[in-house]
C-alpha cells in the first residue's frame, strides 16, 4: 500500500478541521488504495467519504467526512503526482532537450511524457508511455482534455520521427479516446521535408475524423538550437516555406469551419511572422484553445492592449484625455504600475500620469519585437510625453534560429542591454522566468540583472492590459 505524505494543509479547510497535519500519511479513501493524483481526485469527489490516515506518531485514524460534491479536502502532498514521474521513452529527431548544452540545471534535462501532467498542467504527451489500463482509467474517470503530440498520423513516419518502434501503434489509442468521447487537443511539430507537405495534409485530414472530440490542432515549427552536433539533420523553415504551410492550414480552416463550425487547425504565431503575413482576426482562433503553444498569443495581446489603451485616462473624472500631471479623481497614488497584478481595480484609466516614468524600455525576442514596437508606437500616439524603447534580443546562447522570447537567457539580455539608454525601468515578459521563481534559464536571477544594468525591472504578465498598466 502506498503512503502519501501530506506536505501542507490549507487553512480553513476540511483537513484542518479534522486536525490533519503536515507529515501525516494518507492511506486510502473509501477502502480504495490511492495510486496517484487521479485516484485521489476521483475518489474524494464524493459527498460521503471514509479517509484512512496514519498520523506522525504512528496512530491510524478512520475519518468519516460529509461534504459537498467535488469539494476539496485541502491537502497538498510532497509529490504533486503522488507517484513517480514518467520520463519519455522516445528519441524524437526534433527534441529540444537533446539540443541543450551541458552544465545547466538538472530539471531542464528531464523529458516528461506523463499523461497526468497533460491534465494537470496542459503538457503534451505522445501516448507511447501509456498502457491500456491508463486509457481505461481516463475513460472511467471521464478525464479531459488530454493534449496529444501527434506530429504525424502516418504510423511508419511516426516511428521514424519518435525513434520508437511502438509510436505508430500508439496512434490507435486516439481512436479509443474518440469512441469514449474524451476531449482531446493535438499538436504537430513540423520538420522541413519530413512531415510537411503531403504528410501534413494527411495528418490534418485524418485528425478531422476525430471531431468534435479532437477539439483543436496546432502546427508549430521545429526549434533548432546551435547545439545539434550528432543529431538528425534538420533544416530551418524559410519565408516561402512558411507561406506554403499557411496556405494549407487556411484551406483546411475554411473547410472545417463550413462543415463543423470550427476552424480546428491553427498555425502558431511564428508562421505568420516568418511568412511576413498579418495575424488572423480574433474570431479565427475559436476562443484560443492553444495559447500555450503560441497560437494567437500576439493577436490576444494586441486585442487586450488596444482595449486597455482605449480606456486609459477615460476614468479620470470623466476626462477622455487626462494629461500628464492631472490626478485621477484626486487620487495622488493611483498609478496602475503601483498596483499588484491581478487586482480588479488596477484599471489603466486610474493612472496618475504625472508620476509615471517618462522613458521605459522593453526587451523581447526577435520574433515578437516588431509586433511589440507597433504596440509601443500606438501607446506613444496616445501619450506623446512618453518614450518607449523596444530592444530585440538575439539568442546567442541557443543560436540565432531560436527567436522566441521564452528561451532567452539572462546573460544575453545583460550583454545586449549593457550601456543602452534604458530609461527609468525595464519591462520583461513573464515567460523569460521560471514559474514561481525569479531566475532565467541560465540561473541568472532577476536581482542580478537589475544590479548589473542599474535599472528596476518589471515582469509583465502575458496579457495586454497588464502591459498598458506597466507602461502607465
Q: Which CATH number goes with the domain that contains 60?
A: 2.30.42.10
> For the residues 321-335, what does the mean pLDDT come to?
33
Residues 124 and 248 in one domain: yes
- Is the per-residue pLDDT at 24 higher than 80? yes
- End-of-domain residue from the set 272, 294, 316: 294
Q: For residue 199, is it within any domain?
A: yes
Residues 256 and 400 in one domain: no
The contacts found for 228-234 with CB under 8 angstroms, 24 or more apart, are: 228/99, 231/93, 231/98, 231/99, 232/93, 232/94, 234/93, 234/94, 234/191, 234/192, 234/194
The residues that bridge with 316 in the sheet, in sequence order, are: 319
Q: For residue 217, is it within any domain?
A: yes
**What are 192-219's pLDDT values in tens digits?**
999 999 999 999 999 999 999 999 999 9
Number of Cβ within a 10 Å radius of residue 312: 25
Q: How far is CA 179 from the centre of its chain?
A: 28
**What are 76-93's pLDDT values in tens digits?**
998 877 767 777 888 999
Model pLDDT, residue 116: 67
Model pLDDT, residue 219: 98
Residues 339 and 403 in one domain: yes
- Is the per-residue pLDDT at 449 higher than 90? yes
Q: How far apart are CA 180 and CA 318, in angstroms?
A: 55
Query: In which domain, by residue range, is 57 found?
Result: 4-77
| Count of structural domains, the chain | 3
**11 CB contacts (<8 Å, ≥6 apart)?**
none
Residues 166 and 173: beta-carbon distance below 8 Å: no
Model pLDDT, residue 120: 63
Lowest mean pLDDT across 154-163, 258-267, 324-333: 324-333
Question: ∠ CA(247), CA(249), CA(255), 5° rounding?
Answer: 105
Model pLDDT, residue 355: 61
Residues 342 and 243 in one domain: no
Lowest mean pLDDT across 42-56, 70-84, 238-252, 338-352: 338-352
Model pLDDT, residue 441: 87
**What are 118-130's pLDDT values in tens digits?**
666 668 899 998 8
Q: For residue 91, is it within any domain?
A: no
The helix (run of H) or strand (run of E) holding residue 266 is strand 265-267
- Burial of residue 295 (CB within 10 Å: 0-12, 13-18, 19+) is buried
Which comes out higher in pLDDT, residue 115 or 191?
191
Model pLDDT, residue 312: 82
Report the CATH number at residue 278.
3.80.30
Residues 230 and 320 in one domain: no
CA-based end-to-end distance of the chain: 57
Confidence at 286, pLDDT banded by 50, 70, 90: very high
Residues 252 and 107 in one domain: yes
Residues 231 and 143 in one domain: yes
> For the residues 32-49, what does the mean pLDDT come to?
88
Residues 210 and 236: beta-carbon distance below 8 Å: no
Confidence at 330, pLDDT banded by 50, 70, 90: very low
Residues 231 and 307 in one domain: no
Which comes out higher in pLDDT, residue 358 or 351?
358
Q: How far apart are CA 432 and CA 362, in angstroms?
A: 13
Q: For residue 84, is it within any domain?
A: no
> For the residues 106-125, what does the mean pLDDT come to?
71
- End-of-domain residue from the set 277, 294, 311: 294
Q: How far apart are CA 472 and CA 469, in angstroms?
A: 5
**175 CB contacts (<8 Å, ≥6 apart)?**
none
- End-of-domain residue from the set 242, 277, 294: 294
Q: For residue 82, is it within any domain?
A: no
Question: ∠ CA(181), CA(185), CA(191), 5° rounding?
Answer: 140
Residues 314 and 380 in one domain: yes
Amino acid at each position: 500500500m502506498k503512503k502519501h505524505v501530506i506536505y501542507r494543509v490549507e487553512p480553513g479547510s476540511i483537513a484542518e478541521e479534522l486536525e490533519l497535519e503536515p507529515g501525516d500519511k494518507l492511506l486510502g479513501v473509501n477502502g480504495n488504495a490511492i495510486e496517484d493524483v487521479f485516484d485521489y481526485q476521483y475518489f474524494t469527489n464524493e459527498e460521503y467519504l471514509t479517509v484512512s490516515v496514519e498520523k506522525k506518531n504512528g496512530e491510524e485514524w478512520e475519518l468519516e467526512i460529509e461534504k459537498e460534491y467535488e469539494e476539496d479536502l485541502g491537502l497538498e502532498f510532497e509529490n504533486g503526482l503522488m507517484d513517480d514521474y514518467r520520463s519519455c521513452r522516445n528519441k524524437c529527431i526534433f527534441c529540444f532537450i537533446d539540443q541543450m548544452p551541458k552544465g545547466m540545471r538538472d530539471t531542464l534535462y528531464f523529458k516528461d511524457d506523463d499523461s497526468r501532467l497533460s491534465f494537470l498542467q496542459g503538457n503534451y504527451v505522445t501516448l507511447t508511455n501509456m498502457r491500456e489500463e491508463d486509457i481505461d482509467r481516463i475513460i472511467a474517470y471521464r478525464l479531459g482534455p488530454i493534449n496529444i503530440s501527434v506530429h504525424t498520423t502516418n504510423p511508419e513516419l511516426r516511428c521514424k520521427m519518435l525513434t520508437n518502434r511502438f509510436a505508430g501503434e500508439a496512434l490507435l489509442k486516439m481512436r479509443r479516446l474518440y469512441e469514449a468521447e474524451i476531449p482531446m487537443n493535438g499538436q504537430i511539430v513540423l520538420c522541413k521535408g519530413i512531415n510537411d507537405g503531403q504528410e501534413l495534409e494527411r495528418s490534418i485530414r485524418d485528425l478531422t475524423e476525430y471531431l468534435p472530440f479532437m477539439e483543436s490542432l496546432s502546427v508549430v515549427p521545429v526549434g533548432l538550437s546551435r547545439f545539434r552536433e550528432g543529431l538528425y539533420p534538420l533544416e530551418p523553415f524559410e519565408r516561402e516555406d512558411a507561406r506554403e504551410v499557411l496556405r494549407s492550414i487556411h484551406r483546411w480552416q475554411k473547410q472545417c469551419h463550413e462543415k463543423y463550425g470550427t476552424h480546428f487547425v491553427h498555425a502558431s504565431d511564428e508562421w505568420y511572422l516568418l511568412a511576413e503575413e498579418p495575424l488572423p482576426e480574433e474570431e479565427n482562433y475559436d476562443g484560443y484553445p492553444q495559447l500555450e503553444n503560441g497560437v494567437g498569443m500576439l493577436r490576444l495581446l494586441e486585442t487586450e492592449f488596444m482595449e486597455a489603451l482605449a480606456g486609459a485616462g477615460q476614468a479620470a473624472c470623466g476626462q477622455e484625455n487626462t494629461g500628464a500631471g492631472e490626478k485621477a479623481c484626486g487620487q495622488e497614488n493611483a498609478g496602475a504600475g503601483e498596483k499588484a497584478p491581478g487586482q480588479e481595480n488596477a484599471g489603466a484609466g486610474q493612472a496618475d500620469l504625472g508620476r509615471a516614468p517618462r522613458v521605459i524600455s522593453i526587451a523581447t525576442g526577435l520574433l515578437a519585437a516588431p509586433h511589440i514596437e507597433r504596440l509601443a508606437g500606438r501607446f506613444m500616439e496616445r501619450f506623446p510625453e512618453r518614450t518607449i524603447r523596444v530592444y530585440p534580443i538575439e539568442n546567442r546562447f541557443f543560436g540565432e534560429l531560436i527567436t522566441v522570447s521564452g528561451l532567452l537567457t539572462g546573460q544575453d539580455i545583460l550583454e545586449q542591454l549593457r550601456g543602452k539608454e534604458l530609461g527609468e525601468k525595464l519591462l520583461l515578459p513573464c515567460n523569460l522566468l521560471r514559474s514561481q521563481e525569479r531566475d532565467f534559464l541560465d540561473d541568472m536571477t532577476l536581482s542580478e540583472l537589475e544590479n548589473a544594468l542599474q535599472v528596476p525591472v518589471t515582469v509583465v504578465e502575458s496579457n495586454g492590459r497588464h502591459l498598458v498598466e506597466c507602461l502607465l
